[in-house]
Structure 1
Amino acid sequence: MGWSSLSAVAQSGPTKNTLTWLADNSYRNMNPATNYEAEIFVLGNVYETLFEYKDGKVHPKLATSWDRANDAKTWTVKLRRDVNFHNGTRLDSAAVKKSFEFVRDLGKGAAFLYSGLENVETPDPFTAVFHFKNPIAFDLVAAGQYGAFVIAPAAVDKGDEWLTQGHAIGTGPYQLTEFQQGKLLVLQKFDDYWNGWHNGQFERVIHPFVSEPATRVQMMRSGESDIALVPVSQIESLDALTNVAVALTPSWRTQLYYLNTQKYPTNNLKFRQALMHIWDYDSVLKDVFHGSAKKPVAPIASTLWGHRTYDLPMFDLQKALTLLEESGVPKNDWKIKALYGANSQDIDAIQLFQANASTIGLEVELDQEQIFSTYLSKARNPETTGNMNYMTWWPAYPTPSDSLISLFRTEKKPTFNLSFYHDAEYDRLVDQGVKLEATDIEAAAKAYIAAQDRLMQNAVAIFYAEPDRVNAYSSNITGMEEASNPAYEWLSIYDLRR
């Protein structure tokens, strides 16, 4: 969509305190029951969860309190009595029951989190009793960012396709009033929002897809945009402007390269260990991320519970060469393929790795895919996958298990286990952690740490960055810190002021 067309959209309704927020993602699936990708950036402003995770604790959101049975299979949740959906109907236990069972029954996205949900009882309009087959940390799961949003009964009745196409009925501060797939969406203030409104908050949000980073930067410079995700290389120059500020806010994202444990020659442990010493961690953080990321200390984000601090391999080409020679892989076979995406940091980082590898005789073929779905199809296929496969990951809910299961648990056909890692003891440990999570979080953490020990010992991935979220924003906007919570990928527009 051209900027002239966008301007016309912006002028078609009330413009007082309108926020122009540029998207770098082309949104497709707006169904909160099935979505498991970047649309969450918007959905988190339209829908809400029963609980909220903040500062290391679970807090009430649409719920006021909750109680867990000793076996953690039954959870009783008390609801707020003052919440309306966008269509004017009241939030009650029947609506909560219908929403969670809808997610479970569709069986898509994060529905696996609710596969053990047997039923939801509604003893009164503001009490919902959840019954599960197995123990579950439901307070953590229902504070998550995927599969946990409460959807209005009227929207559930319309079904999967209706929601996917960009219709929405939630309880959040903003209503989704316009959706042009892959081009534009518009949010409008929900006047009857239960948490109220204050001076300076935004009444309307124009959110177009602008694919070119240079265009997003220019629109921030010219004042045509209020918020945009920008390349990290532009942080210093934008921050020097009087009309623009840059926010670097912590996230639970981890960037990594899987090392394929099944494909020759990375099916050799010493060969994989060598690759870890070819990665120049410090230069990538300094010259590629420009200070907007930190070096990981574990396979999961350092601000998430359930890990210990590991000494990641140091950049050491001589050590790498020694390991390559000790691996027994003939020098003629020192050839690997790296599969990666379109992000500028991905490109710069893997090109640096390729250059360093060439100095010790390792040939790295670079295979880039611009579209993530195409990348995944290629990475999942044993015939086309790389020896190194790129990934950025953030957890669906506040737990180590999401990353540890999704990224590395044994799969016959990989979904996200692009290391093709098979380890029965690792699987046992993460499964044990999940079972303990609901009743003994310290014991669960020990199981997760033991599982991570195995990942590090077996050199299954290069964990190279914990990136901050980088948003350029108009200097007359306040609240960016409050609007950012590392547990959630979305920016809370409700917390912003002009």
Structure 2
Amino acid sequence: MRWHKRLLAAGAVAVVAFTSACGGGKVRGTEDSPQPGTSQSAADATFVYVPNLDVVTDWDPASSYSNEIIAMENVYESLTRYNPQTKKAEPRLATSWTSTPDGKQWTFTLRPGVTFHTGKPLDAAAAKASIERTMKVGQGAAYIWGAVDKIEAKDATTLVFTLKYPTALDLVASAGYASYIYDTTAATGDLAKWFNEGHDAGSGPYTIDSWQKGQETELTLKKFDGYWGGWSGAHYSKISYRVTPELTTAWQLLQRGEVSFVQRLNSQLFQQASGTANVQTSQTPSFQNLLALFNTESGPLKDVKLRQAVQKAIDYDGLVAALKGAGVQASGLVPDGLLGFTPGQAPKQDLPGAEALLKEAGYGPGGKPLDLTLTYAQGDSDQEVLVTLLTSALDKLNVKLTAKPLQWTTQWDQGKSKDTSKRQDIFIMYWYPDYADAYSWFVNVFRSADPISFNLSYMKNDGIDKEIDKLPELTAIDKAGAEAAYADLQSKIIGQEAAVAVPYVQNYQRAFAKSVQGYVDNPAYPNVVFVYDLKPGA
């Protein structure tokens, strides 16, 4: 987004250097953490999550905007949580809410008796202070609160938002970033520094036990005894995050019973996991798609005909087939399951059409050779398949594609370079929404931006900007109008402007221990496991 993201699956926030510290979220060895498969009572059970990238880049719940969501959603809570089955927000720290017919005032009733990990009560005044601090910090996904004019704590459990323009605030309040409610009085000094020393001030079921940046077992959470949901019945008492970059290693650890959950396997390993006795699998469509952003501002792709030619050269069907279930064909920018999804827009490869467009611009077979540059995520096998297929297709059209795999921060810095000659012609990255609303793609990736953040097609179109700015209000008070606006914007951005191609939407392919009971994937919170909702089995 915008001011935005992500390392998760290779797109991200700039990496910040953090220091470790002791006390309230102490840093220590993890040798005493029990592993699944060892003899331990259900009360001592540890859920071991295996991410492929470092977990924490930013501990501050106001600015956090990257991989740490997988831990933060177990430590912090928001007013609401999105339910992908009902496609609506459901209660979390708020038990109910109402809005005025014009969508400009929202009243949330808070859950009574909630305590922060600091021991202080979570009341309306604390929630107000939390959101106001996030807005003031203005980093990460803080833009989600952009409609808020003022917040009032009417009493201990009543929180009233007055908005500058209508917005679906129940969805905003369910965001995976910037919606966390936290104790702003947790530190006497610099609160951001205190957070990034490894402390937390959430209200969730787990609190930080140990954090060792750069270690294999980077982070361990332990249950918060005072959690409002209680601990009756079977629950995991600890969560351990064990960083394992190689998928094959993660798979071996799962087979041996040393870990509980692998967030993503390749198609070959996923098929193997499906037939393994002590393992269960889950495949769920995500809200995360792959974007091929074309440089509309400089270089050869400044010519819209050449951008359209590259769009047509992509072997969409071949790519999805090669992914073997790890991706499904996209239909426009908005994934299925979100308002704004427009069926019937799936693109098809059209090499004769691409050749004709190239010839119109003086290139193609028999014309001038065309050289293009592309950057993509180092180590991402799915993106490598796209690059291989596209390189082959363009080669037949007398177009040479030079593709560079890069670490995200390197790729992002190149894309944002003030020297336009250093920018790539095609920028490959994943995108997913900060909350369950398609607005994220449009305001962050395609609205004019200066300085450049995630608008890496560099598109500048005043008319499109104005349409994007109307989306929150339409979503709040005119769903049919919002659907029409999303369809029109996708037609303009993909068709007329040819600023992007959308090769596929990712499927989440998970593998986890047979003993894990109750796991349900929620695409609104990418790669998050809500561990409190699970039951450890035998």
The TM-score with structure 1 as length reference comes to: 0.93
Confirm or deny that 1:174 pairs with 2:206. yes
The alpha carbon displacement at 1:7 in A equals 6.5
Corresponding residue for 1:242? 277
The alpha carbon displacement at 1:349 in A equals 1.9
State the identity as a percent. 28
2:31 is paired with a residue of what secondary structure? helix
Residue 448 of structure 1 is aligned with which of 486, 503, 506? 486
CA displacement 1:451-482 (0-9 Å, x = unmatched): 1111122221110111122221112212222x
Residue 350 of structure 1 is aligned with which of 372, 387, 393? 387
Residue 10 of structure 1 is aligned with which of 13, 21, 33? 33
Corresponding residue for 1:472? 511
Q: How does 1:2-81 map to 2 (within 5 A)?
A: 8-11=31-34, 16-26=44-54, 27-54=56-83, 55-81=86-112
- Contact 2:264/2:508 (<8 A) preserved: no
2:383 is paired with a residue of what secondary structure? helix
Q: Go from structure 1 to structure 2 and tell me whether the alpha carbon gap of 1:136 and 1:7 turns closer, same or farther (over 3 Å shift).
A: closer
Q: Distance in 1 between matches of 2:272 and 2:168?
A: 45
- Contact 1:437/1:444 (<8 A) preserved: yes
Q: Go from structure 1 to structure 2 and tell me whether the alpha carbon gap of 1:236 and 1:6 turns closer, same or farther (over 3 Å shift).
A: farther
- Shifted more, 208-217 versus 171-180: the winner is 208-217
2:529 is paired with a residue of what secondary structure? coil
Q: CA RMSD in A?
A: 2.1
Q: Distance in 1 between matches of 2:187 and 2:339?
A: 34
1:451 is paired with a residue of what secondary structure? helix
Confirm or deny that 1:375 pairs with 2:375. no
- Contact 1:337/1:364 (<8 A) preserved: yes
- Contact 1:429/1:450 (<8 A) preserved: no
Confirm or deny that 1:126 pairs with 2:157. yes
Q: Distance in 1 between matches of 2:81 and 2:263?
A: 25
- Shifted more, 325-334 versus 60-69: the winner is 325-334
Q: Given residue 373 of structure 2, which amino acid in structure 1 is its aligned partner?
A: K
Q: How does 1:83-102 map to 2 (within 5 A)?
A: 83-102=114-133
- Shifted more, 269-278 versus 306-315: the winner is 306-315
2:185 is paired with a residue of what secondary structure? helix
- Contact 1:104/1:117 (<8 A) preserved: no
Q: Distance in 2 between matches of 1:156 and 1:425?
A: 46
Q: How does 1:248-259 map to 2 (within 5 A)?
A: 248-259=283-294
Q: Given residue 325 of structure 1, which amino acid in structure 2 is its aligned partner?
A: K
For structure 2, which runs of at least 5 residues remain unmatched after alignment? Answer: 1-27
Q: Go from structure 1 to structure 2 and tell me whether the alpha carbon gap of 1:353 and 1:299 turns closer, same or farther (over 3 Å shift).
A: same
- Contact 1:433/1:445 (<8 A) preserved: no
The alpha carbon displacement at 1:269 in A equals 1.8
Confirm or deny that 1:217 pairs with 2:288. no
Q: Distance in 2 between matches of 1:372 and 1:412?
A: 20
Q: How does 1:66-465 map to 2 (within 5 A)?
A: 66-155=97-186, 159-183=191-215, 184-233=218-267, 234-287=269-322, 289-329=323-363, 331-342=367-378, 343-369=380-406, 371-381=407-417, 382-457=420-495, 458-465=497-504
- Contact 2:334/2:341 (<8 A) preserved: yes
Q: Distance in 2 between matches of 1:125 and 1:412?
A: 41
The alpha carbon displacement at 1:17 in A equals 1.2
CA displacement 1:318-340 (0-9 Å, x = unmatched): 33222211233474341100111
Q: Distance in 2 between matches of 1:402 and 1:436?
A: 15
The alpha carbon displacement at 1:99 in A equals 0.4
Corresponding residue for 2:18? none
- Contact 1:74/1:129 (<8 A) preserved: yes
Q: Distance in 2 between matches of 1:84 and 1:179?
A: 23
Q: Given residue 438 of structure 2, which amino acid in structure 1 is its aligned partner?
A: P
Q: Distance in 1 between matches of 2:197 and 2:428?
A: 30
Corresponding residue for 2:22? none
Q: Given residue 446 of structure 1, which amino acid in structure 2 is its aligned partner?
A: A
The alpha carbon displacement at 1:118 in A equals 3.5
For structure 1, which runs of at least 5 residues remain unmatched after alignment? Answer: none
Q: Distance in 1 between matches of 2:325 and 2:34?
A: 39
- In the alignment of these two chains, the number of paired residues is 489
Q: How does 1:483-498 map to 2 (within 5 A)?
A: 484-489=521-526, 490-498=528-536
Q: Distance in 2 between matches of 1:257 and 1:391?
A: 7
Q: Distance in 2 between matches of 1:254 and 1:263?
A: 25
